[in-house]
């Protein structure tokens, strides 16, 4: 049986279209997709619940594209509520207007459509899209994104015999409206009911290997918060890519994928011809939720058997050690022919340090989550549109401190401003007993260090300034810190959020406003002509009259 994601037949054409030339180089190919977003009853854990489907599929269709392709995605919102899709890991360079989060893009009203015009500029790798509003992500609406290298760019491993996407995640039997009502009522979410592999519960997902061949598996944790461990009975996995970086090809018998993260492994069908368990379990939880899929050999002579192979459960050191072992292959190519390691991030002096601490607590008797004491509340107008139309009072720059305050939690529309071309260090400080996972839109950053305890300037002595991986989502272990470095080379309004979805929903996010005084198109594109206007931007004109 084929994986559900492979059933999709993406409608795409490779033609150039002058009308889009404003935002994209006309010689890069175009791929046209039409998506219809609907509700439908799904049964991933055996009980019927309301799911969000795209073109009738759960998970949604996979986006296949090549570095620098233009993606023209016409999304019809056939739900009875506003909807937006966002792109985990796609950088939308110079174009935060199409980022698909409420701080940058107006929701698509029910019954209407909106055409996203994206370019996967200078990117390769495995990512996913997801619905960003309300608590839609708990109902589906997500799908894989694979950005392939251009034909002449060498990939540091032989062409695999097949390339499969594994969208894994924790799951609730309750629908997204019930879950949202729990959060809106000021409560924490209960423990999830199960774990899904490509929208299927236990032994629902399967794939077929031919004896002796090597396959690429692209694994993304699209769940609502739990870190997950992925493994295949009797098989080793060679890690080759994380979120667009070709890694040193180390071999693992299981791999941790934290909320929001993506990676690729190579697996060779080098075992006796039978069927094997694919296993995914929650990490750092009690109880442990486990689900299985089936790896079938085409010449198999027996079904899955034996105990489901065990993996790490609560061990944090195991995970930290594995994370530290994931490094960049400095001689492998990135999206361009020059080696990935030719950018010496470790030789650049940082111009600013930002320290961000997560916390949880009550505000007005309701559960909230915060960053540096601020629990984010959305404004009445997307922040990016407020900037474009000069609408005052929507938010205040630096409404959040750039280091922990230690004060109590309060509500605000937190925006942290930073200068275009600065080279910053962000230290994520997690003083709680949960595993945190942070994602930054618009960027990939170097994960230079992580460790237990409090971060101090002396912690920099242990940074990896040579071959850290560049990615867009990083975990922070309980009572630990994680440090990242990156160049602010992408002007715009960029969402920085917890991938722990209830925390994101109840305020653990902010916007990083990467600012330049210049209004050159080289630095930032103008608002798209087709931008939907909402809030106080209604009635404005996206082009001068």
Ligand X SMILES: *[C@@H]1O[C@H](CO)[C@@H](O)[C@H](O)[C@H]1NC(C)=O
Chain residues in the site for ligand X (CB under 6 A): 36, 38, 50, 74, 76, 78, 113-115, 156, 175, 177-178, 248-249, 329, 331-332, 347, 349, 530
**Residue 71: helix, strand or coil by DSSP?**
strand
The minimum distance between CB 56 and ligand X, in angstroms, equals 7
The minimum distance between CB 495 and ligand X, in angstroms, equals 22
**Residue 328: helix, strand or coil by DSSP?**
strand
Nearer to ligand X, 226 or 340 (CB): 340
**Structure tokens that stand for 426 in this block:** 């962000």
The minimum distance between CB 48 and ligand X, in angstroms, equals 10
The DSSP string of 365-424 is TEEEEEETTEEE---SS-HHHHHHTT-TTS-EET-S-SS------EEE-EEEEEETT-EE
136: phi then psi, degrees, rounded to nearest 5: -55, -30
Whether 213 and 300 have beta carbons less than 8 Å apart is answered as: no
The minimum distance between CB 290 and ligand X, in angstroms, equals 26
Give strand pairing partners of 408. none
Rounded to whole angstroms, what are the CA distances from 187 to 182, 295, 377, 506? 6, 39, 17, 10
| Pairing mode, strands 414-419 and 396-397 | parallel
Half-sphere exposure of 435 (CA within 13 A, CB side): 25
**Residue 69: helix, strand or coil by DSSP?**
coil
Residue 450: count other Cβ atoms within 10 Å of its Cβ.
24
The minimum distance between CB 179 and ligand X, in angstroms, equals 9
Nearer to ligand X, 215 or 369 (CB): 215
Nearer to ligand X, 109 or 186 (CB): 109
The minimum distance between CB 174 and ligand X, in angstroms, equals 6
Nearer to ligand X, 191 or 362 (CB): 191
Nearer to ligand X, 249 or 271 (CB): 249
| Nearest one of 534, 451, 535 to 108, comparing CA atoms | 534
**Residue 177: helix, strand or coil by DSSP?**
helix
Q: Sign (positive/negative) of CA torsion 359, 351, 439, 313?
A: negative
Only one residue has tokens 């999830």, namely: 192
Give strand pairing partners of 194. 171
Q: Name residues whose C-beta falls within 8 Å of residue 144's C-beta, 6 or more positions apart in sequence.
A: 5, 59, 62, 63, 126, 127, 128, 165, 167, 218, 220
Nearer to ligand X, 4 or 51 (CB): 51
The minimum distance between CB 85 and ligand X, in angstroms, equals 13
The minimum distance between CB 175 and ligand X, in angstroms, equals 4
From its phi and psi, is residue 453 left (phi > 0), alpha (psi between -120 and 50) or beta? left
Nearer to ligand X, 139 or 269 (CB): 139
The minimum distance between CB 322 and ligand X, in angstroms, equals 16
The minimum distance between CB 298 and ligand X, in angstroms, equals 28
Nearer to ligand X, 143 or 260 (CB): 143
Nearer to ligand X, 253 or 302 (CB): 253
Nearer to ligand X, 177 or 271 (CB): 177
The minimum distance between CB 444 and ligand X, in angstroms, equals 19
Strand (E) positions, 198-350? 206-209, 214-221, 228-232, 237-242, 245-246, 251-252, 255-257, 262-268, 275-282, 290-297
Nearer to ligand X, 396 or 421 (CB): 421
Nearer to ligand X, 53 or 197 (CB): 53
Whether 130 and 86 have beta carbons less than 8 Å apart is answered as: yes
CA–CA dist 289, 413 (Å, integer): 36
The minimum distance between CB 446 and ligand X, in angstroms, equals 16
């Amino acid at each position: 049986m084929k994986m559900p994601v492979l059933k999709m037949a993406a409608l795409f054409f490779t033609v150039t279209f002058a009308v889009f030339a404003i935002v994209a180089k006309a010689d890069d190919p175009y791929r046209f997709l039409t998506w219809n977003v609907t509700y439908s009853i799904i049964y991933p854990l055996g009980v019927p619940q309301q799911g969000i489907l795209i073109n009738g599929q759960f998970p949604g269709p996979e986006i296949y594209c090549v570095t620098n392709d233009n993606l023209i995605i016409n999304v019809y919102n056939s739900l009875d509520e506003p909807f937006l899709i966002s792109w985990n890991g796609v950088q939308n360079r110079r174009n935060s207007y199409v980022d698909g989060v409420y701080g940058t893009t107006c929701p698509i009203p029910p019954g209407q459509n909106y055409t996203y015009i994206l370019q996967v500029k200078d990117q390769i790798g495995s990512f996913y899209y997801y619905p960003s509003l309300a608590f839609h992500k708990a109902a589906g609406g997500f799908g894989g994104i694979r950005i392939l290298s251009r034909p002449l760019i060498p990939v540091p491993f032989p062409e695999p015999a097949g390339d499969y996407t594994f969208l894994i995640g924790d799951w609730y039997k309750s629908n997204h409206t019930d879950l949202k009502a729990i959060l809106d009522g000021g409560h924490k979410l209960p423990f999830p009911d199960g774990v899904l592999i490509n929208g299927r519960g236990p032994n629902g997902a399967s794939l077929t290997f031919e004896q002796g061949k090597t396959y690429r598996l692209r694994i993304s944790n699209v769940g609502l918060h739990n870190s997950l461990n992925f493994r295949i009975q009797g098989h080793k996995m060679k890690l080759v890519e994380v979120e667009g970086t070709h890694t040193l090809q180390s071999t693992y018998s299981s791999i941790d994928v934290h909320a929001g993260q993506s990676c690729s492994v190579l697996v060779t069908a080098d075992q006796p011809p039978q069927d094997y368990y694919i296993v995914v379990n929650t990490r750092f939880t009690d109880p442990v939720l486990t689900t299985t899929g089936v790896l079938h050999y085409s010449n198999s002579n027996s079904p899955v058997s034996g105990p489901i192979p065990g993996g790490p459960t609560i061990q944090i050191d195991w995970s930290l050690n594995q994370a530290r072992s994931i490094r960049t292959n400095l001689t492998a190519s990135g999206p361009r022919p020059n080696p990935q390691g030719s950018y010496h991030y470790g030789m650049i002096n940082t111009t600013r340090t930002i320290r961000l601490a997560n916390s949880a607590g009550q505000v007005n008797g309701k559960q909230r989550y915060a960053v540096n004491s601020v629990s984010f509340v959305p404004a009445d107008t997307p922040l990016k549109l407020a900037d474009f139309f000069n609408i005052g009072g929507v938010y205040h720059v630096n409404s959040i401190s750039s280091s922990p305050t230690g004060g109590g939690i309060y509500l605000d529309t937190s925006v942290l401003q930073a200068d275009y071309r600065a080279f910053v260090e962000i230290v994520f400080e997690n003083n709680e007993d949960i595993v945190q996972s942070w994602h930054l839109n618009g960027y990939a950053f170097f994960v230079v260090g992580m460790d237990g305890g409090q971060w101090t300037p002396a912690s920099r002595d242990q940074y990896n300034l040579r071959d850290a991986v560049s990615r867009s989502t990083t975990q922070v272990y309980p009572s630990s810190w994680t440090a990242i470095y990156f160049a602010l080379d992408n002007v715009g309004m960029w969402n920085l959020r917890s991938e722990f979805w209830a925390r994101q929903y109840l305020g653990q996010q902010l916007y990083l406003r990467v600012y330049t005084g210049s209004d050159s198109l080289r630095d930032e594109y103008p608002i798209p002509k087709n931008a939907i206007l909402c809030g106080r931007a209604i009635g404005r004109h996206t082009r001068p009259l």
